[in-house]
Amino acid sequence: MTSYLVIVNPASGRGRARLRADVLRSGLPKSCHVEVVETGHRGAAAELAASRATSVDRIIAVGGDGTLNEVLSGLVATGRSAQELPELSFLPAGTANAATRAFGFNSDPDTVAGALPEVDSRPVDVGIVSHEGGERPFLLWFGAGYDAVVIEALNATRTGLMGLSGLLANSRQVLGALNRYAAPQIEMEVDGSSFGLVSSVFLANVREVAFGGILAETADPFDGQLDVVAVTPGSRSKLIRQGLSILTASLARAKGVRHTLGIQIKLNSPGRVPFQLDGEPVGVLPAAVRLKRGAVRLLLT
């Protein structure tokens, strides 16, 4: 008998997460043991995942990208290998859902319920970020600099919208935050070698990230490497052109952008440079990032 722990963020998607979780529970085979729990505060999903990591076969995160990242954080924090951890899946219910585009997660709870009993999991790479606040994993991407400034601005608004809809609805606040940002230079080291000074850094584990944009076409969460995409210092007009390239082609192809592969990256700056993980603001530099190959088993529905 397969046991499922369904971790739901009831605030996600303006209440849609709770409804989706109910449909999922009803659709899973009666022979399964299914427990649905709701989070009540930030960090609760990580706490639940960590505390139940040895007592269930599978954990399903229901919410937005932040909910998935919290569950991932709880599992990784146990220090167990992928084979010792529950298999992980995701039922999207947020407003950005970058993970849905990156991995092709199905957003229909009936379809997911029908697929889960037959689907096999696949070990997926996870980035681990060490900073003054501790350690935090990411499944999708890490961004330091302008990317994180945008994420901070969206999280500070009261609309609750993320993704492209949030960017458009909160354009005034986002532009104001970008104008106020001093853009200190970032010193970066990739696998022990200096990568020079840059103004923004993206570490992509997946090809497609926020706003439907592409950081690097070669990014693959199963290849044991992170795609390092760094924006060199330049004018505002240059930054705008580079930003548009994410939506029209890929940032890695844009002029003035450097692209390489790596598994250990160190970042530092003399000024305040925020960073985000999987679309969630987390802290400020300095930070050290390492890739953990096949860290969790992902159920791709």
Q: Could you identify the residue written with the tokens 């639940």?
A: 48
Q: What is the mean pLDDT of the chain?
A: 90
Q: What's the mean pLDDT in 170-184? A: 78
Same domain, 88 and 145: no
Which pTM does this prediction carry? 0.91
E strands in 40-144: 58-63, 87-92, 121-131, 134-138, 141-144
Query: What pLDDT, in 10s, does the model give residues 130-155?
Result: 999 999 999 999 999 988 998 888 77
Cα–Cα distances in angstroms (integers) from residue 13 to residues 10, 102, 152, 234, in the given order: 8, 19, 19, 37
- Which domain CATH number covers 218? 2.60.200.40
CA gyration radius, the chain? 19
Per the domain annotation, does 210 fall within a domain? yes
Residue 210, pLDDT > 90, answer: no
Q: Do 62 and 86 share a domain, yes or no?
A: yes
pLDDT at 230: 94
Last residue of a domain, one of 58, 91, 119: 119
**62 lies in which domain range?**
3-119
pLDDT in tens, 55-66: 999 999 999 999
Confidence of residue 244 (pLDDT cuts 50, 70, 90): low
Q: Are 82 and 123 in contact (CB under 8 A)?
A: yes
Are 72 and 170 within one domain? no
For residues 30 and 150, state if they share a domain.
no
More confident position, 253 or 108: 108
Look at the chain and report how many structural domains it folds into: 2
Domain of 48, CATH number, reads 3.40.50.10330
Q: How many CB atoms lie within 10 A of CB 84?
A: 11
Q: Poorest-confidence range of 111-115, 179-183, 239-243, 251-255?
A: 239-243
For residues 244 and 134, state if they share a domain: yes
pLDDT at 245 > cutoff 80: no
Pair (190, 261) in one structural domain? yes
- pLDDT band for position 235 (cuts 50, 70, 90): low
CA 289/CA 133 separation, integer angstroms: 14
* Highest mean pLDDT: which range of 1-10, 162-171, 226-235: 1-10
pLDDT bucket at 185, cuts 50 / 70 / 90: very high
Mean pLDDT calculated for residue range 246-275: 90
